[in-house]
Structure 1
Amino acid sequence: MKLLVVEDDLDLGDGIRIALSGQGFEVVWVRRLEQAIATLDDASLDMVLMDLGLPDGDGLVLLDCIRKSKRRLPAIILSARDTLQDRLRGLDEGADDYLVKPFELAELQSRVRALARRSGLGADEGIRLRGLYLHEPTRQVSLDGEPVNLSRSEFDLLALLLKRTGRVQTRRVLEEHALRGISGAESGALDVHMSNLRRKIGAGYIRTVRGIGYVIDATASAPGAV
C-alpha cells in the first residue's frame, strides 16, 4: 500500500516515514503543498497523511484538490490545530480522520491500518508478535516501529519461525528452508545465523530446544532462556 506523507517538519516527517515503512507500507514523503499536489497524479497512491500548516499553503487546499479530482483517496489530517472547530472543518472538507499533534507513532500506525480496512484497501497486516513485525511481500522487519536489517537467510529463518509460532522447528527443517540444505554439522551456519538474528531482534523471542531445534513462543521467553 502506497502512502503520501505531507509534513514539513524534518524530524516528524522522517519519524513517520520510518514508522510506516517498518509496517510494510511504501511511503512517499514531501514537505511542500506544491509537491503534494503534483504527487496526486500518481495513480498508485492509496492514502494521504497531511499536515495543514505547510510553508507554501494550507493543507486543506490538498483536500480540495482530491475532492475536485473525483478520486476516492482516503486522507488523515495530522495537525497541531486542536480546536473542535478545526477538527470539524477538516472532516467536513473531506478528511477521513484527524490526529492532533503531538501524537504517538503507534497510534498513527493503528489509524492508518483502520482506515485502510474501512476503505477496502486490503492492507497486508503481516505477522506481528510482541512488538516484532514481519512483512513477507516486501521482506521488511521492524521492532517497536524501528526497521531491523536482516540478511536473506536471517529473514527466511525468522519468517518460518513466526509463521509456526509455538511449534518447534528442527534443525534440518530450518537448514533446508533458509540455508539451502547446508548441514549445520559441517559448518555451524544455522547457529551463526540464529545468534545474529537474536542479537538483532533482542532477547525473549527465539528459544533453543536442545538437541532438536528452535522455536518462537507466543509469550516471551523467560530471562536467561536459550
Structure 2
Amino acid sequence: MIVSDDHYYCRTIYRILVLKGVEVFLARKTSDGEFSVLSNDRDLILVDLCQDVERGLKVIANVRADESDVPILALLPVENVEARVTALELGADDCVPKQLDLRELLARMYAVVRRRRGHTRSLIEIGTVALDLLKREVTFGTKRTVLPQQEFALVRMLAEHPSRILSRDVLHDHLYRGEDDVSPTAVDVLIFYVRRKLGKDFIRNVRGRGWALSDVV
C-alpha cells in the first residue's frame, strides 16, 4: 500500500510495481483529510513523509497502535534527521530518501518484506514449506523436488503472500503478464502439476476466492 499526497510519485511507483506483478493499493483519505490505512492484509506500507511529515508519522503510529506488524518503509527528505529518528521510534522498519533511485527503492522494499518474514537472500521458510530460490527447489514436509520455472514462480508467489488468498486473476497476471494466447486455465494446470509432485494438500483452494499454501494460511 502507498500512502502519499504526491499523486505523480504514486502513479509512477504504482505503474512500476504493477508491471512487476505486484498488487498495489493507494490509501484513501477520510472526510477529515486523514489517510485510511487498512493494514491487516498488506505485505508492505510505503509512507511518504515529504509532503506532510506530521501526517505521515501519524499513519505509522496508527498502524502500530492497531498492533499490526506489517512492514513499513518511510520516504523522507535527506536532511530531515529528526523525522527519520521519530519514524523509526514509532515503528517504521526502514527510512530512505525520496530522491533514491527507483531501482534501489524497489530493492529496499523487497528487503524489508524479506526481513520481516525471516527470509534470507536465497531461502524462504514458512512452516514446513521451504523454497531454495537459487535451485528452484521446494521442500514440503518430507517431500523435496526441483520445479520448472513457471511452477516455481507460482509457489514462490504464494509463499511471499502467506497471509493472503490469491485469486486466479492475480496469479495469472503475475505469471503471464505481457504474454499472448495464454489459456484462462493456465494457472489451474500449474497447480495440478505442483500438487502431483508435492501432494494434493500442498496448495489449498478456497472456493470462490483463490489459492494459498495449505501450511501457512
Structure 2 residues without counterparts, runs of 5 or longer? 125-130, 135-149, 158-170, 187-217
SS for the counterpart of 2:95 is strand
Change (3 A) 1:56 1:103: closer
Judge which range, 6-15 or 85-94, deviates more: 85-94
**Counterpart residue number, 1:85:** 82
**Counterpart residue number, 2:71:** 74
Which residue among 14, 18, 23 is the counterpart of 2:20?
Answer: 23
Change (3 A) 1:37 1:10: closer
Q: Does 1:150 align with 2:179?
A: yes
Identity %, equivalent residues: 23
TM-score (norm 1): 0.51
Count of residue correspondences = 143
Structure 1 residues without counterparts, runs of 5 or longer? 128-133, 157-226
Please report how far the alpha carbon of residue 91 of structure 1 lies from its aligned counterpart in structure 2 after TM superposition: 1.1
> What's the Cα RMSD here?
3.8
Please report how far the alpha carbon of residue 88 of structure 1 lies from its aligned counterpart in structure 2 after TM superposition: 1.5
TM-score (norm 2): 0.53
CA deviations 1:24-76 (Å, max 9, x no partner) are 32110136477874332x53112210112456961100111112111212100
Please report how far the alpha carbon of residue 16 of structure 1 lies from its aligned counterpart in structure 2 after TM superposition: 0.8
Which residue among 36, 39, 47 is the counterpart of 1:38?
Answer: 36
Separation of aligned partners in 1, 2:99 and 2:53: 22
Please report how far the alpha carbon of residue 21 of structure 1 lies from its aligned counterpart in structure 2 after TM superposition: 2.0
Change (3 A) 1:32 1:80: farther
Change (3 A) 1:31 1:12: farther
Change (3 A) 1:49 1:150: same
Contact 1:5 1:29 in 2 (8 A): yes
Separation of aligned partners in 2, 1:13 and 1:102: 14
Quick check: which has more Rg, 1 or 2?
A: 1
Contact 1:75 1:95 in 2 (8 A): yes
Separation of aligned partners in 1, 2:132 and 2:106: 11
SS for the counterpart of 2:106 is helix
